[in-house]
A and B are shown apart, each in its own frame.
Chain A
């Protein structure tokens, strides 16, 4: 884990003091709401449908147990005893009071956290592969470069007023879990034939009202040039990105309108002009930051499956069901990655109570070298669990109702807060997710269906990533009634694709039956070993359209 130095801590502490004074001036009438709004948004404080909402940054989805425990404490003391993990690996509190917010920010600063750049037209919190540092076959640990980007982009004076918000995702694996192709910039760490480290640089992906897959502008950028090249991209965007129309202001529109080749030429020209004077990555700074992410002190455990684990697998059927879905292979023998699903039957995707957060923090201390990850799919991860501890970990998770054995299955739904909380939404997302979770509650059927990502957004801003759901659901308002437009064939991985609208939107009453029909059509059409996305790519949307609209 990265540990703040004096500069980081001073910056965050000073920001708390500044916000405390800004709030005081607002309450005293020295600042109008129009003056205060951008200041509170710079500190992650929104005014939502029912109350203020505070979005806390979790840089690259990595948390220490002390940080997660503090998030639990804040939830209990200043909110309603829970928090909501988001699709950008952040955490949102839905009920903070304005007058408490400086104290909340101070409590975050105590554990080296903040809410900087979780709003506004700046470089937002950097996201990364949740298996960073523990996945086999990784070219490099993306946390190192995410942290370097965090430091470079935090309060960067040139990039604090971009045409629109800007999101960067980083992975070190060929198997993309960070959705790098649908970010403003996606970075994939690679090694060239000489074994040198570099990055594939992907620009102009995004979701929202104009979903696009990013373009590779550099197949291999040497590691040392990472920051200067990012700076060149941001400069081109800052200069040519549209500021006349909010809906056309993201970099994807610039890349699309200019053309990927011309945009790439612009970036290369800018880079050539500025790179010798630019800030770049000295090897000693990379080594300094990398030292924070050194592997934990592993025990020398034997290879193969731990014998106690094997015994528990046969003794405990529920545990045996959890293992294949929620436990992933670890690069070090004897260890495993334990995924904690925040998608219980009938639950709210991404919500965790303070008690659940504390239980996970305690488990992390006991069995994961004090470390937790947050995933963009709104789940948690204990990244370093010895195989022999898995059963004990699972038992504790079960006692706190977070052992749903559904990772990547049909009930592992991504959903934005929707009209239940969000001031921008047109329709509710969470109740649809809850109804689908109940409909597909039986694990046997879910396992038979296999990998299938359902993603739900309550408006076209697409915080629920519906465009890249194998089944995407978009809430729309039709004359005051909630309707849902269904897209099929979206995918956020290495072979990313944007879903296609299957037909007319369906009513709220019809939507769960429609999903059931789509799933049944897939099951009828699939060949051996095909996931939903594979079948869809083979047969196209017609069979789904036919079965869906024949029954409605």
Chain B
């Protein structure tokens, strides 16, 4: 069954972030709040709330697979968005 997490960009610096089970936004996938595709309403509600609170912009759901505690986005676009450019000149990528 497809699982989903919620992602967005942080308003202040534009960095890619993911909604965690603690209700915060993290730059990594560890601790991401993973939900079945049919049960994502709380993720979407939190996304709208934090967009209104100007923490993040452009929140949307992405499909992931979880295996042995490791969360991986399924689509290439989201894998690159999560891991950063695949081509160098990415020195100093930080939270």
User: Which residues on A are within 8 Å of B, measured CB to CB?
Assistant: 26-27, 29, 33, 47-52, 80-82, 96-99, 348, 351, 419-421, 428, 430-431, 434, 477, 480-482
Residues of A within 8 A of B87 (CB): 348, 420, 428, 430-431, 434
| Residues B80 and A419 in contact, CB atoms below 8 Å apart | yes
Residues of A within 8 A of B16 (CB): 49-51
Kindly state the separation between the CA atoms of A430 and B87 in the bound complex, as whole angstroms. Answer: 7
Determine which of B14, B54, B93 lies in contact with A29 in the assembled complex, contact meaning CB atoms within 8 Å.
Answer: B54
Kindly state the separation between the CA atoms of A14 and B74 in the bound complex, as whole angstroms. Answer: 46
Residues of B within 8 A of A351 (CB): 89
User: Which residues on B are within 8 Å of A, measured CB to CB?
Assistant: 9, 11-16, 51, 54, 57-58, 74-77, 80-81, 84-93
Kindly state the separation between the CA atoms of A419 and B77 in the bound complex, as whole angstroms. Answer: 7
| Residues A50 and B91 in contact, CB atoms below 8 Å apart | no
**Additional 7 contacts, C-beta under 8 A, given A49-B80, A430-B85, A480-B75:** A27-B12, A51-B16, A80-B92, A96-B14, A99-B13, A351-B89, A420-B87
Q: Interface residues of B: mostly helix, strand, loop or mixed? A: loop
| Residues B12 and A98 in contact, CB atoms below 8 Å apart | yes
Kindly state the separation between the CA atoms of A526 and B15 in the bound complex, as whole angstroms. Answer: 50
| Residues B14 and A51 in contact, CB atoms below 8 Å apart | yes
Residues of A within 8 A of B77 (CB): 49, 419
Q: Interface residues of A: mostly helix, strand, loop or mixed? A: mixed
**Distance in Å: Cβ of A32 to nearest Cβ of chain B:** 9
Q: Which of A27, A50, A421, A477 has its CB near the most chain B CB atoms (within 10 A)? A: A50
Q: List 12 A-B contacts (CB under 8 A).
A: A50-B85, A80-B90, A80-B91, A81-B92, A82-B89, A96-B14, A97-B12, A348-B88, A348-B89, A428-B86, A480-B76, A482-B76
Residues of B within 8 A of A430 (CB): 85, 87
For the A-B complex, the count of residue pairs with Cβ-Cβ distances under 8 Å equals 75
Kindly state the separation between the CA atoms of A434 and B87 in the bound complex, as whole angstroms. Answer: 8
Residues of A within 8 A of B51 (CB): 33
Given A50-B85, A80-B92, A27:B54 Cβ within 8 A: yes
Given A49-B81, A428-B86, A431-B86, A419:B76 Cβ within 8 A: yes
**Distance in Å: Cβ of B89 to nearest Cβ of chain A:** 6
Residues of A within 8 A of B88 (CB): 348
| Residues A421 and B85 in contact, CB atoms below 8 Å apart | yes
Kindly state the separation between the CA atoms of A27 and B57 in the bound complex, as whole angstroms. Answer: 12
Kindly state the separation between the CA atoms of A480 and B80 in the bound complex, as whole angstroms. Answer: 13
**Distance in Å: Cβ of B52 to nearest Cβ of chain A:** 8
Q: Which of B9, B14, B15 has its CB near the most chain A CB atoms (within 10 A)? A: B14
| Residues B89 and A98 in contact, CB atoms below 8 Å apart | no
Kindly state the separation between the CA atoms of A420 and B9 in the bound complex, as whole angstroms. Answer: 16
Residues of B within 8 A of A419 (CB): 76-77, 80
Determine which of A80, A98, A428, A480 lies in contact with B14 in the assembled complex, contact meaning CB atoms within 8 Å.
Answer: A98
Closest to B92 in A: A80
Given A47-B57, A419-B80, A420-B80, A52:B90 Cβ within 8 A: no
Residues of A within 8 A of B12 (CB): 27, 97-99
Closest to B54 in A: A29
**Distance in Å: Cβ of A330 to nearest Cβ of chain B:** 33
Residues of B within 8 A of A48 (CB): 14
**Distance in Å: Cβ of B84 to nearest Cβ of chain A:** 6
| Residues B92 and A50 in contact, CB atoms below 8 Å apart | no
Residues of A within 8 A of B13 (CB): 51-52, 97-99
| Residues A81 and B86 in contact, CB atoms below 8 Å apart | no
| Residues B15 and A50 in contact, CB atoms below 8 Å apart | yes
| Residues A51 and B15 in contact, CB atoms below 8 Å apart | yes
Residues of B within 8 A of A480 (CB): 74-76
**Distance in Å: Cβ of A244 to nearest Cβ of chain B:** 26
Kindly state the separation between the CA atoms of A480 and B81 in the bound complex, as whole angstroms. Answer: 15
